[in-house]
Structure formats: structure tokens, C-alpha cells
Amino acid sequence: MELSLSSLRLSGQCYAVGILRDATARKEAELALNQAHTQTRQILAAIPSLLIGLDEQESVIQWNAAAETVFSIPAKDTLGRPFRECGIPWDWTPVLDAVAATRAARKQQRVDDLRYTRPDGTNGFLGITVNPVVNEEGGFSGFLLIGADITERKALQTQLTQAQKLESIGSLAAGIAHEINTPTQFVGDNVRFLRDAFEDLRKLLEAGARLLDACRQGTLTPERVGEVEAAVQAADLEYLSAEVPKAIEQSLEGINRVAKIVRAMKDFSHPGSEEKTAADLNKAVETTITVARNEWKYVAEVQTDFDPSLPPVPCLPGEFNQVILNLIINAAHAIADVVGDGSRGKGTIHIQTRRDGDWAEIRVRDTGTGIPEAVRGRIFDPFFTTKEVGKGTGQGLAIAHAVIVKKHGGSITFETEVGKGTTFIIRLPIDPSPKQESGSVPR
């Protein structure tokens, strides 16, 4: 019960007035509300992801235990304060851009690989989603930021990417060894030919020197002249004059081929940087074609159409190379399914680069089997493959999609026709903007 007492003066008399109310329902409601708040606090405290709630004016109204741990900032120092004044040691620009985009579009925004400083002073990475909060009337009432420290996961992803790259090098090793062995063989043959030719020329020079001494001493005889004539005939100067320059040029060409392959292997297998760098995509594609030569040379001819005016494009070169390698190998396998071992003719892999406004476009077209309509919606799924057991892992296109879309803010699509071939189309932003990085890519 709830008792209210008050005094009342009426006609000169003072009265006490008491009002009794049954407060059971209200007390039960208060208890239930307190229990709900307690449960909510316990749930928020138990959530392993950091959680930050903002009201419509972007002041902090929620700061859970995970946020305290990740940033080493107590909740009491943040609640009620403007979000920007909480002292969070991270890169504010992409976060504030995401908050603004969430307010404008009323849609969730994602911020990947957000750099921040950990409490121990080391650099770390966060993955954050900014979610709009809607009230019961459907109106916008604030934001909910949910995220986690992905530093270790990012390190593992980097190691996995490098391992996959080295695995690709390993699977191509036999072919690369063959590519190096071929020019090495004809360089060796030419060097042996030059050694034998020099031996003949040395004998001719010695005979000529003896003839010169005889002339100087006045003892020239027909035998000396005949000795020189025999050496000239043995050396076959006309043949050597024609073949020695060819042998030298072929040897230099072979050495250049070996050097090109070694450079391509070095560029391809380099772990690269975690930061995007301006890269020459034409050179990157050409490098990957060289590395993968033994995969396609028996079944296809590779044609290139590079746009010389294509500017350097910000990207992760090592991971971009991996994507192109996966597409070239897939194209070679698709063509092999049509032409067999290539003894009755080869297919074609055509690789084109061009600039399309603010986007760089790379097209990889093959004359293979094409993609059956029934599986077209699944080709970017992890572990999905149409190849026979033991020939494909189903990771190539999944990795390509993750690298191009998630890491570069680009797109990868395809056009295909069964029996005629497939074209994969990669688009990368030349000058990445927040809009492009969020995945808004024109098709």
C-alpha cells in the first residue's frame, strides 16, 4: 500500500486527510524494469565485441566493458560526452564519415581495417559497423557502433595470403624450372659453340703470327703460307662470321629471358606492404603472365591489349597479382577442357586493361567451356569448384572476390556463354573515395 497524508483547514478546523492506494502493480512494474535494466547491463557487459551507443546529437549513452578494455577508457569518462571528445586513439576520419553516411542513408556502414593505438602503445586494427537506431515511431534516434579488435586475425590473413602465394609458386615451380631450363640449354649450346670457334680462331691466329715473324725475318717459305691457308680452311671463316654474331645474340636473349622470369618470380612472391601503393597494373599483369607461362603455353595463346595511358592505381600489388594468376590458371584449365593437350590447336586468353572514368578495368577473356547457368551464382563461394577432385580447391575465385571487393573497394563480375568462353571483369578505383571504398561500384 501507499499512504499519503496531508493537512486541511476547513471552517477554522484543522483536519488530517489520508489517502491509501494499492501500489502493487506499480511496484511490480518498477521491479521488472529494474530487472530488465540489470539484465541489459549484464548482457552488454558480457558481449565480447565493443559496443558504443550514441544519441541523435552524437553524445555517448552506452559504453560497454569491451570498449573499456579495448581503449582503456572507463565508461564514466565517456557517458554524456560528445563522441568526438572521448579521446579514442583511432583514425577518426573514416569513423565520422561512416556516422554521417549512416545518418543520411539510415543504413549500416562498415569500416574495415581501422587503425588505432592499443593501450600498450602498439598499432592495432578494428572492424567497426555503424548501425542506425530507430525508435518505436520509426524515427531516427541515434547510432550503435559495434566492433572488435581484428589485429591478430589480420596478421593471420596476411600470413595465409602469403602462404597461398607461395603455394602458387610451388605449384608452378616445375613449369618455371622448365621455362628457365630452355633458355639455359641454348645459352650453354651457344657458349660451347663459341668455345670451339675460338679454338679454331686461336689456331689461325697462331699460324698468322708465325707467318708474320717469317716475313719480318725474311725467312718466308711456301710451307708457312700453306700453314695459314690450312688454318683458314679449318676455321671456315665465312661460316663463323655468319654464326658467331647469331650465337652471341641468342645467348644474350636467353640470359634476358632468364632474368625476366627471375624478376617476375621475385615481384610475384614478394610479401608486399599492408598499405596500398600506386602500382603499374600493366606491368603487374605482364609479370603474372610470365610466371604462369607454363600453365597456358601448351593450350592457349595469350594476347594483351594494355592501355598505355592507364595511371598508377592504388592497390596491394601482391594480392592483385594473386587474383590475376588465379584468373589466368582458371582460363587455361577451361580452355584445356576444350582443346585437350593443344596438339590440335590452341585457344586464346585475351587480357585487356583500360581506363573508364575514375576506374581501372581489367578484362580476362578465354575461349573455354563457359560457366553452366546452374552454378553461376555460386562461383565466388568459398570451396565451390566445378573441377574434378584433386584439381581445384574452390579458393581461387573466393580469394579474388575478397581481395577486389573488400580490400580494394572494387568489383569483380563475369560474362559467360556455355561453349564459347568467359570474361572476368575487374574494376578498381583509380582515386579511392569513401563512397567507392564502401563498395558502391558502378557495373
What are the structural domain ranges in the chain? Answer: 1-46, 47-149, 162-259, 272-443
How is residue 381 annotated by DSSP?
A: S
Whether residue 412 contacts residue 75, with contact meaning beta carbons closer than 8 Å, is answered with no
| Equal CATH topology for 47-149 and 272-443 | no
CATH architecture of 272-443: 2-Layer Sandwich (3.30)
State which amino acid sits at residue 233. Answer: Q
List beta partners, residue 303. Answer: 350
Q: What is the pLDDT along the chain (443 residues), one digit of tens a residue?
A: 889 999 988 888 999 999 898 988 888 878 877 776 666 566 666 666 888 999 999 999 988 888 998 999 998 999 999 999 989 999 999 999 999 999 998 899 999 888 999 988 898 999 999 999 988 787 888 999 999 888 888 777 777 666 666 666 666 666 677 678 778 888 888 899 899 888 888 888 888 888 888 888 888 788 888 888 888 888 888 888 888 898 899 899 888 888 877 777 776 666 556 678 888 999 999 988 988 888 898 899 999 999 999 999 998 888 898 899 889 988 998 999 898 877 778 999 999 999 999 999 999 999 999 988 888 888 887 655 665 544 544 567 888 888 898 888 899 999 999 989 999 999 999 986 544 444 444 43
- pTM of this structure: 0.54
User: What is the per-residue pLDDT for 428?
Assistant: 94
Q: Any idea which residue has 529494474 for its cell? A: 34
User: What is the per-residue pLDDT for 389?
Assistant: 44
User: What is the per-residue pLDDT for 42?
Assistant: 60
Cell of 166: 607461395
User: What is the per-residue pLDDT for 43?
Assistant: 60
**In 3-state terms, what secondary structure has residue 169?**
helix
Dihedral sign computed on CA atoms, order 205, 207, 213, 216: negative
User: What is the per-residue pLDDT for 214?
Assistant: 86
How is residue 271 annotated by DSSP?
A: -
Nearest to 307, CA basis, from 288, 327, 287, 286: 286
How is residue 430 annotated by DSSP?
A: S
User: What is the per-residue pLDDT for 235?
Assistant: 81
Pairwise CA distance, residues 179 & 168, whole Å: 16
Nearest to 362, CA basis, from 417, 304, 322: 304
Whether residue 428 contacts residue 442, with contact meaning beta carbons closer than 8 Å, is answered with no
Q: What are phi and psi of 311, to 5 degrees?
A: -75, 165
Element (H, E) at 251: helix 237-269
Pick the CATH number of 47-149 from 3.40.50.920, 3.30.450.20, 3.40.640.10, 3.40.920.10: 3.30.450.20
Q: Beta strands 347-356 and 300-305: pairing type?
A: parallel
Cell of 96: 565520422
User: What is the per-residue pLDDT for 316?
Assistant: 86
User: What is the per-residue pLDDT for 182?
Assistant: 76
**In 3-state terms, what secondary structure has residue 140?**
strand
How is residue 382 annotated by DSSP?
A: T
CA atoms within 13 A on the CB side of 131: 11
Q: How many residues does the chain have?
A: 443
